Structure 1
Amino acid sequence: MKETTYKYQEQSLFSISWPLFIELSLHVGIGIIATFMLGHYSDSAAAGVGVANQLLNIFILVFNVTSIGGTVLISQNLGAGRLKDARQLGRTVFGLNVWFGIFVSFIVFFFGEQLLQLFDIHGKVYDYGLTFLRICGISLFFESISLALSAILRSHGYTKESMFVTMMMDFISIGGNILAITGIFGLPITGVTGVAWAIVAARAFAVCALIYLVYNRLALKLEIKDVMTAKKEDIKGLLAIGIPSAGENLSYQFSQLIITSFVVSMGTASLAARVYVLNINYIVFFLRWQLPKGRSC
């Protein structure tokens, strides 16, 4: 592919930021919506899924390390006119997140039981949580790749395209949740299992759509060899920026996990209430973080 076909578009700060705000809201919302919809199915299911979702959010933050670093470094190279370096960084971000996704999905799927046992939950809450954790562990592979592809698109100014893909991902997930919980059209009620597989399908769709957009908008073809080759300098640069940027959110998520482990001892009802309040808190916290200083929700 010739270098002249490697395209990016210049935009204003506002035109870039508002689609990004919506996209991040929708990424956060997919787990929140699943938890609240399962609340109509069973408090035990909502409690188990809520605990599992907190663990999943920790791993998703790992993927954000390279995504954040990639967005910054690719944008810097594009601004400096180093299109070849920006192209290589995009391939490196993609390759790293493929490996991160494989590794984390393996850990969650095969060691999900041990991870949940750290919270000392039992009975139906444990069963629901383990089912959700193992199935959604598969979707973490897709989530890792989609975050990398979104970072590549955003760094080139294509924030709206990435936002629309995330919107479609949420619609697919919500549609699957409705089918799994309500038994509409005479379909069997699959509960937590159906909700989890809906998330897997939604994230798989997002990867396919984003790969198409990266190739179509940027003329950047990602190949298997990109997973095997990466410059050490690029990796160091991505981690140097991404780790400190993700560190604050990671510490916050760990603190919430510790609080949840204390609430577990109070019973299922208390744990379910904790999960509902925590999800509402995510929304408020996210909006407050996005608003300019001096304003509040």
Structure 2
Amino acid sequence: MTAHKTPSIWSLTWPITIEMMLQFLLGTADSLMVSRISDDAVAVVGISNVFFNAVIVLFTLVTGGSGILIAQKLGAGKHADARKIGIMSVSLTVMMGIIVSISLIYGTDLFASLMQVPDNLKGLSHTYMSIVGGGMAITALNLSMSTAVRNTGNTRSPMYISLGMNVLHIALNYAFIFGAFGFPKWGLLGVAISTVVSRSIAFFFQLRLFRHAFGVPVALREFKNIHMRLLKEVAKIGWPISVNGASWTFSQLVIFSMIASMGEQPLATRTYMNSMESFAFTFGWSLALAAQIQIAHLFGARKLKDAYYAAYRALGFGVTVVLANTALLLIFRAQIISAFTSNTWIIDMAISLLWLNLALQPGKMLNMALGQSLSAIGDSRTVMTYSLPSMWIIAVGLSYVLAIPLHMGLYGIYIGMITDEYLRGAPCLMRWRKHRKKLIFVAAFSEERGSTQRDGGKVVPL
């Protein structure tokens, strides 16, 4: 069978960018609507979403590895294996999703206490977390199916589904928060219901898209098949991605817990900052995801030089764009932040923190571009090894020391996060370069460098 045609970086990037930008814009509209309820409601949504992101990372044990392998198998022309991996990933993630949903329905109060949610916010957090958390099985299904489809090279169709889901979510938010169109005025309860309903409707479109993603429509009976050989391949790549992602998300959850212990205003500020910072790195993250898909296809097709340089193109272009986006935020900082809240303490603090993004965003791009590239060639374990110590010693440990004992507050948190980004990104860059000199890409560059010779079918450094 002929190898699958490698998609271009632009054809992959622009639908992911539009999807994420729409999510950002609609997420910002979501935050603005919730802010009309109260700053407390914004704080609850902010810390709850960080928690849900930590939960979703559990699903990447399957989806992370399966997505990369789908791209690699298609690049190598092994379409049957790609189909089996996609189907298997959906089956496994839905089982995990059901377990997680049940746990969150009955364990909301425990999780809120562990996150140090202030007592006056626990009632709101129980309402929001139990409903949205109860729908995690649907979230797991949507994630696994969209990941599989994107890694076939079709990033456009998931974009359309995401657009529809988010537009519906905003419309339902408007109805439930303000009591429009004859709907009841349910406040934060309505926001939670809106989230679950919009994700459930999106599921039916994702299912149809997934069934036709691999040629012949996927039959229901195929979901019961588990292929151990392929599962081992998925796990080999997927478990480091899952551990790394879980570690990062849980470290952010701990940091949010620190901020929560400072009070409602710092927590609300950090939540608003998350929305604004999303604008800065949305394109960079889209580019990193597209580069991962493209590099995995190229790696599967053994186009190693193209795969190697793709990472640098993503990094260079990504840093330029995230800095430009941060500059735009700074130019219009007063108008943007004032649209979220009238609290002068929050506005002044957020403006100060925006300046620190000039250092934060390039570090994030370095991590995103090189980390995703390493995972695309199956080197996810190295990314995990580099990242875990920095996340907990620097991002959490240094942030705590600066923010709490040294009383630097949110400034200390940001200094810790910035330092962590560069301490994780720099080793990934060095590892990528090492793959050219000694590891995976050495054969592709041996003639150009003139420093290797072939011995028994192996490339041996002179």
Q: TM-score range by the shorter chain?
A: 0.7 to 0.9
Which range is displaced more, 168-177 or 270-279? 270-279
Residue among 212, 220, 224 paired with 1:223 = 220
Structure 1 residues 232-241 or 153-162, which shifts more?
232-241
**Using a 3 Å threshold, how does the CA distance of structure 1 residues 29 and 71 change in structure 2: closer, same or farther?**
farther
Distance 1:28 1:95 in 2: 30
After TM superposition, the structure 1 stretch with the greater mean CA deviation from structure 2, 31-40 or 127-136, is 31-40
Give the equivalent residue in structure 2 for 1:204: 200
Higher relative contact order (CA 8 A, sep 6+): 1
What do the CA deviations read for 1:211-244 (whole angstroms, capped 9, x no partner)? Answer: 1122345333242661x43122322222222233
How has the CA–CA distance of structure 1 residues 67 and 258 changed in structure 2, closer, same or farther, with 3 Å as cutoff? same
Output aligned runs, 1:8-23, within 5 Å.
Answer: 11-23=7-19
Q: State the 1:198 CA deviation.
A: 0.9
Report the equivalent of 1:49. Answer: 45
1:106-255 alignment, distance < 5 Å: 106-217=102-213, 218-223=215-220, 226=223, 228-255=224-251
Assess if the C-alpha contact under 8 Å between 1:35 and 1:50 holds in 2: no
Post-superposition Cα deviations, 1:262-286, rounded to whole Å, max 9, x if no partner, equal: 2223332332223222332344344
- Greater Cα offset, 140-149 or 31-40: 31-40
Are residues 1:40 and 2:63 paired?
A: no
Q: 1:271 and 2:267 equivalent? A: yes
Give the letter aligned to residue 219 of structure 1.
V
Alpha-carbon spacing, 1:285–1:20, altered in 2? closer, same or farther (3 Å) = closer
Given the superposition, is the C-alpha separation of residues 292 and 37 from structure 1 closer, same or farther in structure 2, using an over 3 Å criterion? farther
Q: Secondary structure at the match of 1:190?
A: coil
User: SS of the residue aligned with 1:120?
Assistant: coil
Most deviating of 68-77 and 127-136: 68-77
> What is the identity, as a one-letter code, of the residue corresponding to 1:183?
G
SS in structure 2 opposite 1:230?
A: coil
RMSD of aligned residue pairs (Cα, Å)? 2.5
Query: Are 1:68 and 2:46 an aligned pair?
Result: no
The counterpart of 2:258, out of the listed 259, 262, 286, is: 262
Q: Is the 8 A contact 1:36 1:276 kept in 2?
A: no
- How far is 1:92 from its partner? 0.7
* Structure 2 unaligned spans of 5+: 288-313, 326-462
Greater than 6 Å deviation, 4+ residue runs = none
Work out the CA distance in 2 between the residues paired with 1:140 and 1:35.
21
Deviations 1:10-54, CA, capped at 9 Å, x for gaps:
632211222123334556676665344211111111111211111
Pair 1:292 & 2:343 matched: no
Shift of 1:84: 1.9
Instruction: State which of 78, 83, 93 in structure 2 corresponds to 1:82.
Output: 78
Higher Cα Rg, which structure: 2
User: How far does residue 61 in structure 1 lie from its aligned partner after superposition?
Assistant: 1.8
Contact 1:169 1:202 in 2 (8 A): yes
Cα offset for 1:174?
Answer: 0.8
Partners of 2:23 and 2:232 in 1: CA distance: 27
Count of matched residue pairs: 290
The answer (yes or no) to whether the contact 2:101–2:136 under 8 Å persists in 1 is: yes
Cα 1:11–1:267 shift into 2, 3 Å: closer
Unaligned ranges ≥5, structure 1 = none
CA deviations 1:95-121 (Å, max 9, x no partner) are: 111112112112211111101111333
Cα deviation 1:44-96 (Å, max 9, x = unaligned): 11111211111001111222332222221112222222222122111111111
Give the 3 Å change call, closer, same or farther, for CA 267–224 of structure 1 in structure 2: farther
Indicate if the aligned counterparts of 1:49 and 1:128 stay in contact, CA closer than 8 A. no
State the TM-score, normalizing by the size of structure 2: 0.58
Pair 74,245 (structure 1): closer, same or farther in 2 beyond 3 Å: same
Structure 1 pair 271–231 and aligned structure 2 pair: CA distance change class (3 A): same
- Displacement of 1:250 in angstroms is 3.3
Percent identity over the alignment?
A: 29
Distance 1:239 1:145 in 2: 18
State the distance in 1 between where 2:174 and 2:123 align: 21
**Do the aligned residues in 2 keep the contact of 1:66 with 1:97 (CA within 8 Å)?**
yes
1:144 deviates by 0.8
Cα contact 2:54–2:253 (8 A) shared by 1: no
In structure 2, do the counterparts of structure 1 residues 79 and 277 end up closer, same or farther at CA, with 3 Å as the change threshold?
closer
Q: How far apart are 1:156 and its partner, in Å?
A: 2.1
Instruction: Identify which range, 147-156 or 282-291, moves more after superposition.
Output: 282-291
For 1:106 and 1:221, locate their aligned partners in 2 and report how far apart those are by CA, in whole Å.
28
1:134 deviates by 0.8
